[in-house]
Structure 1
Amino acid sequence: MVLYGLKTCDTCRKALKKLNEARFVDVRSEGVPPDVMSAAFDLYGQALLNTRSTTWRGLPDAERARPPLDLLRDHPTLMKRPLIVSEERIFLGWTADVQNTLGVA
């Protein structure tokens, strides 16, 4: 299991504490592999972008209009988190549903 997130994100830290067997990947320093990001985008679409983040608010309109995968490649902190890859499944966020599915609620 791999958890993609930010080491400074409280939600990511909570998830990592419960998923102690997960390997943590900091998206700011290591990024997300393109195939994982594409698969996550296929599943979650625009929901993968965190449009409430300070990074998003700091982007000019022309930058915001770019294709989402290009934005996420150039600004990985725009990704909602955590992004959890478990075997062949991908989960976005740390909701009660995700926790129940992963058996850590």
Structure 2
Amino acid sequence: MLLYGIKTCDTCRKALKALPNAELVDIRNAGLPEDLLRRAAETFGSALMNTRSTTWRGLSEEERGRDMLALLRDHPLLMKRPLIEDGAALYLGWGKDVQAALAA
């Protein structure tokens, strides 16, 4: 199980603590693999983008209007975290629904 996020994110830390078999991939350093980025965009659509982040607020209106995949390639910290890859399944965030699905 791979957890894509950043090591300083409280939500990612909570998920890692609850998922002892998960391995953190720090997107700040590693970015997101292209195939995973495309799969996540198809699965979650615009929910993949965190428009409440400080990175988002720092973008100009012109930047914000760019294609979502291009923005996430250039600014991986715009992704809602964590993105969890468990085999073929993808999960986004660390809400009650994701916690319940991964606890089973």
1:59 shift after superposition: 0.2
CA distance in 2, matches of 1:31, 1:58: 19
More helix by share: 2
Aligned to 2:19: 19
The count of residues paired between Structure 1 and Structure 2 equals 104
Unmatched 5+ stretches in structure 2: none
TM-score (norm 2): 0.98
Correspondences of 1:3-14 after superposition (within 5 Å): 3-14=3-14
Partner of 1:59: 59
Residue 97, structure 1, aligned to residue 97, structure 2: yes
1:22-72, Cα deviation, whole Å (9 max, x unpaired): 111000001110100100000111110000000000000111111000000
SS in structure 1 opposite 2:72?
Answer: helix
Q: TM-score, normalised by structure 1?
A: 0.97
- How far apart, CA to CA, are the structure 1 residues paired with 2:50 and 2:68? 11
User: 3-state DSSP class of the match of 2:29?
Assistant: coil
- Superposition map of 1:57-96 within 5 A: 57-96=57-96
4+ residue segments displaced more than 3 Å: none
CA distance in 2: counterparts of 1:94 and 1:85, whole angstroms = 13
Percent identity, aligned pairs only? 59
RMSD value, Cα: 0.8
In structure 1, list runs of 5 or more residues that go unmatched. Answer: none
Residue identity opposite 1:72 in structure 2: L
